[in-house]
């Protein structure tokens, strides 16, 4: 069974709401009439696969993918005013649940959460898991420039641990884009930086000391975390600022997280396997973004010089175990 963990869908009802104009998400149309969702320093061109499950299934069949884990992506619902964001989160999650009912063998989904209002986000996570059957939620690396390890978010981690829910940490656009505003450096470089900073803060803040069994998936192969873990451990040894909350070096916790294989670079994947083990990697394609490649993501794993057991795990077995499929 091949499961694509990292891909994105904008439900049609969500896009229709954005086009009404009562939103902080910037909606444009290009010269060909295609919708673009614009976020700080980045944008997504909306194609059929972004909102039509039937188009996705056709692409999945062509690539040999059995199931996808649907998630909303930037700009998300957290950029909205609290009440509006909560309403959009419910709309998105209801849409995900409807798709799961229609195509139970092809799709599962992770909930969108209105994190500007932590109480509403906790309530929506519980509704999504216990009533809609979603196995977890996507959270962004920052919420309107606020770090995701802020104490006000800790009730969300407590609820996720209580529900045994999966949290998928996905980058938002950097708070300070600066020199990344050109050359599409926000998705190419900024996203990996955001994931690295966010998971570093979560570890050093003590979130995983408090909830050691919290299930976390890091997007884009953990940003640069597999390559920086030794340096971060060294910082833990020598910097007082890195001490006080952790009983063991940060890498002990970092190796417990799952990571998706986007951007499916063979050398990087092999290094991630060396760092955390093949049982912590999940196939990811970033479909149907411009930078996504569904068949390429699958082929990269099929071509890896690893054992058949490890290959089967990365392609779907690890995700099936994590999501209880």
- pLDDT (tens digit, 9 = 90+) per residue, 255-272? 999 999 998 899 999 999
Q: Which residue do the tokens 């998105």 mark?
A: 92
We report the CATH number of the domain holding residue 70 as: 3.20.20.140
Q: Quote the number of domains for the chain.
A: 1
How far out from the chain centre does Cα 122 lie?
Answer: 18
Global pTM reads 0.95
Query: How far apart, in Å, are the Cα atoms of 291 and each of 70, 189, 200?
Result: 17, 13, 26
Helices 294-302, 266-276: inter-axial angle, 10-degree rounding? 60
pLDDT tens readout for residues 161-171: 999 999 999 99
pLDDT tens, 200-250? 999 999 999 999 999 999 999 999 999 999 999 999 999 999 998 999 999
Write the CB contacts of 83 (distance below 8 Å, at least 6 apart in sequence). Answer: none
Non-local (6+) Cβ contacts of 185 within 8 A are 179
Residue range(s) defining the domain that contains residue 39: 3-323
3-state DSSP assignment of residue 3:
strand
């Amino acid at each position: 069974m091949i499961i694509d963990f990292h891909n994105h869908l904008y439900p049609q009802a969500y896009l229709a709401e954005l086009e009404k104009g009562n939103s902080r998400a910037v909606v444009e149309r290009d010269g060909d009439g295609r919708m673009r969702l614009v976020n700080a320093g980045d944008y997504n061109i909306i194609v059929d696969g972004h909102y039509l499950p039937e188009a996705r299934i056709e692409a999945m069949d062509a690539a040999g993918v059995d199931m996808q884990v649907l998630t909303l992506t930037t700009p998300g619902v957290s950029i909205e005013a609290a009440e509006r964001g909560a309403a959009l989160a419910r709309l998105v999650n209801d849409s995900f649940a409807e798709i799961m009912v229609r195509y139970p063998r092809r799709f599962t989904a992770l909930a969108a959460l209105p994190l500007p209002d932590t109480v509403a986000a906790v309530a929506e996570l519980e509704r999504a898991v216990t009533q809609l059957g979603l196995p977890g939620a996507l959270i962004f690396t920052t919420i309107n420039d606020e770090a995701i390890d802020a104490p006000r978010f800790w009730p969300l981690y407590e609820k996720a641990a209580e529900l045994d829910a999966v949290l998928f940490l996905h980058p938002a656009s950097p708070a300070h884009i600066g020199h990344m505003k050109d050359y599409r450096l926000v998705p190419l470089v900024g996203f990996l930086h955001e994931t690295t900073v966010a998971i570093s803060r979560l570890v050093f803040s003590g979130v995983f000391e408090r909830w050691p069994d919290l299930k976390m998936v890091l997007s884009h192969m953990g940003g640069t975390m597999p390559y920086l873990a030794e340096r971060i451990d060294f910082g833990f040894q020598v910097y007082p600022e890195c001490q006080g909350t952790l009983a063991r070096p940060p890498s002990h916790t970092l190796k417990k997280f799952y990571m998706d294989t986007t951007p499916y670079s063979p050398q990087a994947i092999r290094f991630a396997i060396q760092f955390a083990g093949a049982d912590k990697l999940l196939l990811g394609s970033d479909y149907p973004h411009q930078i996504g490649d569904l068949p390429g993501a699958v082929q990269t794993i099929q071509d890896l010089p690893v054992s058949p057991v490890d290959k089967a795990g990365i392609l779907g077995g690890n995700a099936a175990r994590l999501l209880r499929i």
